[in-house]
Every structure is written in structure tokens, then in C-alpha cells.
Amino acid sequence: LILERLAVNSLLRFKAVSKQWKSTIESPVFEERQLKKRQQSGDPDVLLVSGCPHPPDIESLRTLVLGSSSSVKIPTPWEKENNTQYFVSFDSCDGLVCLYHHKQSGFVVNPTTRWFRPLPLCQFQQLMIDLRESYFELGHSFFKLGFGKDISRGTYKLIWLYNSLEIGLENATTCEVFDFSTNAWRYVTPASPYRIAGCADPVFVHGSLHWFTECQETKVLFFDLHTEAFQVVSKASFAANPERTPYDIVMLIWSFNSSNNTWDKICSINLLVISIIYGSPTLCAFHPLALLDGKNNTNKKKKKKELLFYDLVQMKTLMTHDPETENDLVVFDAESTGYSVCYFQSLISIS
């Protein structure tokens, strides 16, 4: 009970105390309990992934503890031979993060323990390699990789879902799933009957990955990682408003109520005001990362949750938004942070 409340860095050192401690700390049951305690005890850390190609002496992965003024470099074994600009999955799972590239092998990484696992290319990546520049000449969108967990079986899955008519395939979409047990990609059929909106990140919630559809009336599509079936949650009437101009943008944070299939608005942020203050374009400029606990340090009472988001255009600023006061606060600013994802420190790896 004492050990599971300790920081992961301490636990890694304490494995050397005795064989019994090592066996305890490395057991799957202990790893799950440690992660749950970490999730209950406070806000997540932030992984910063370099957003541009870099020479070996530039940090590619850094971790930031919220509230600190500096980030810490994470050594990566592939840096010496690899100068790739990696994207990062929007969601982390149990302290694991997926780094990926559309034309090269990616990695699943535990930023805390430095564990990593390389990933083979899927057919979608091989197709992009073969088509080269003609891929984008076909008018094909830029699709993102989804990372999630089958909460019934406790297994992790990577999902490429992409529109496929433009690239000569018969179906509206094609879905590929990475199976960690076989270290191979496989197709899921039938795939989504709805085309998905390109460039948007799939979002993992409660055992399913979610996308916006490319329809006249936008819908929220989800893929159950246990049953591997696609369904539509509901019409997402808030996803697009033709009466608004691109310069009149408000970020709305919604919560889906599964009991009555309704959407509840948590907060709204005027991006035009923020863009003027921070000198960033409004369109797709600010990316929500997490809802923080927002604890009051003086009396330990919980305030209303604060939204953590970052500047997706300049990729250098992390900010929080207080829904009660509507105040914005810069929590981290650097010359360049790149892509960001929140995670909780854990001991978990994928065998």
C-alpha cells in the first residue's frame, strides 16, 4: 500500500532492494494499482514531442510536470540514427503514448520508464510511400492514428481509419487494426459506412475511438475496441455552423450524456480574443489537452475544473482556462514545444 503511492522513478530504483520488492513492483496487479493511485492523486504530466526535424543535439522528447517552469529531456535510443518528425497520438493509454509517422515505423513509448516498442508499417503507410506526392494530388486527406484500449480484455490497439475511394479502393473507408500479440496489422470489415473528416484526431473515451464524419450533417462515429464494430453516437449539430465566419470562432467543450444521448456544454472560450492576446491565427489554433482538477492550494477544496490547451500553430505555449473567471494563464512557454499529449506516470509496458 505504501509502495503503490510512490513515484515511478523511486519504484524503479527500489526494485534493487530485494527479489521480493522486484517481483511485487513488476507484477501486473501492482502496476494497475499504482496507475490508479496516480490518476486519483493529481493532474497528468505533459509529453512534448518536437514538431520539426532536428539535429541529434536537439531534444525530441521532453516531459513537463504542470506547475514547473522547465521540461526534462527523455533519452530515446532511436535518436542517434533517426531524424524523423513524429506525430503523437491525441490520447495516451495507461501512461503509454504512440509516436507515429505516415511513411516510417513508429513507436509506443512509456515516457516514465523509457520503455518503447517499434511498430511495423501498415498497408496505409505503404500506400503513401508508393504513391508519393500523387497521394495528395488525388485530394486525399491527412488522417491520424488512433490509440486505445479494449477495457473488457485489457488489451491495447492502434487504429488507422481512412477514406479510401480516392485511392482506388471500393469501400467508403478502410480500417486497419494493430494486434500487439501477433505484432501485425489486419483489416476490420465492415469498416465505417460514413467517410470521416480528415486532419481531426480520433479521440479515445470509455473503450471506444471517436471521429467526426464527413457528412452534410456532421455525426460522431465511434469504434468499439472490444467488438470492433462501428456505430454513430448522435448528430453533432455543434460541429459546424454555416452562419459563423472563420474569424468568429468560439471553442466549445461538450460532454456526452450516455443515459439520454444528449450533449452538455461545459464551457466556451472566445478564440478571437485569445488569438489577439497571443498572436496566433484563430482557425484550428488552440488544441484542448485535458480537464485539470483545479485544486485550491490554500484550503485543498476542489474548484471547478480548468481546461488545459496549447497553441497548435506556433507550438510553443501551454495555457489553462478557468471557466468560472474566464481567465487564461500561461503555464509553460518555450521556443518550441511541438506536439503535446497528457499522460499519467506508470510502470506499464506491452509484452
Question: How high is the pLDDT of residue 230?
Answer: 95
Tell me: the pLDDT tens digits for 209-220?
A: 999 888 777 788
pLDDT in tens, 27-39: 999 999 999 999 9
Given this model, what pLDDT does residue 307 score?
A: 85
Q: Is it the case that residue 176 has pLDDT exceeding 90?
A: yes
Q: What are phi and psi of 21, to 5 degrees?
A: -65, -40
The pLDDT of residue 160: 94
Q: Output the pLDDT for position 134.
A: 75
104 pLDDT higher than 50? yes
Residues 35-58 pLDDT 10s: 999 998 878 999 988 755 544 444
pLDDT, tens only, 178-234: 999 999 999 999 999 899 987 778 999 889 999 988 877 778 899 999 999 999 876
The band of 268, judged by pLDDT with boundaries at 50, 70 and 90, is confident
Break the chain into its structural domains and give their ranges.
1-41
